[in-house]
Amino acid sequence: MYKKISNLVLGFHGCHRKTFQSVIMEGGSLKKSANSYDWLGNGIYFWEQNYQRALEWAIHRYGEDEGAVIGAVIDLGYCLNLTDSASADILRKGYEILKLRCEMVGNKIPQNRPSKKTTDVLLRDLDCAVIQQIHDFNSQEKKAMFDSVRGIFTEGEPPYEGSAFKEKTHIQICICNPNCIKGYFTPISPHKGFDIP
């Protein structure tokens, strides 16, 4: 009942300049990510309302000249909203099914891991596998499929000594159903035309 998020949100997708040109200039569309370590399962990823974080990621990945950002207007639809504590039960059930399936075939349960350059947990094989298990279960049981997955992630260093906040904390959205993306646009940099104190 409360899984449908009714507001449109703005999402920002960090990418290579060629992808930007394909989507914005040529009318193409973004492709789903299907890595085993994707944070919210397989789908099209956006930073919610966070142009700056998308730009930082794109520049880090592709360099100053090749990094770009695509904006999107998104309807989250039927959302596995991990910012809602009720979703913890869904995650627990997904984990139990994954654990049982791994035991049945003799596989190890995937693990989340930090990257080599930071202590942040950036490679989320376990979380991805649990979310994919939830999608698989819903499909097999002919239950309503989630259109999107949404989560809050704390990442980076504290902005000041003793802070519980982190510099790169963000809300990330994974779009499972591409029909949720209502349109793409070229973002305007929020820092153009005025100085940040």
Q: What is the mean pLDDT of the chain?
A: 92
Classified as helix, coil or strand, 176 is coil
Q: Could you tell me the CA-to-CA distances from 119 to 83, 113, 153, 154, 172 in Å, in that order? A: 23, 9, 14, 12, 19
pLDDT for 126 equals 97
Helices then strands, counting H and E runs in the chain, come out as: 4, 8
> Residue 194 above 70 pLDDT?
no
Task: Say how far apart CA 29 and CA 177 lie, in whole Å.
Answer: 13
Return the bridge partners of 166, or none: none
Helix (H, G, I), strand (E, B) or coil at 31: coil
- Per-residue CA distances from 9 to 67, 75, 115, 183, 191 (Å): 23, 7, 30, 11, 21
Cα 188 to the chain's mean position, in Å? 22
Q: Where are the domains of the chain?
A: 4-185
For 67-101, the pLDDT digits (tens) are 999 999 999 999 999 999 999 999 999 999 999 99
Domain 4-185: give its CATH code.
3.90.228
In the 8-state DSSP scheme, what is residue 22?
Answer: I
CA torsion angle for 50, 171, 149, 127 (degrees, to 10)? 130
**pLDDT-above-70 percentage for the chain:** 93
- Write out pLDDT tens, residues 118-155: 778 888 999 999 999 999 999 999 999 999 999 999 88
Q: pTM for the complete prediction?
A: 0.89
3-state SS assignment for residue 175? strand
Rounded to the nearest 5°, which phi and psi values hold at 148?
Answer: -155, 165
Which residue is it, tokens 């960090």? 14
Distance CA 152, CA 119 (A): 18
In the 8-state DSSP scheme, what is residue 25? I
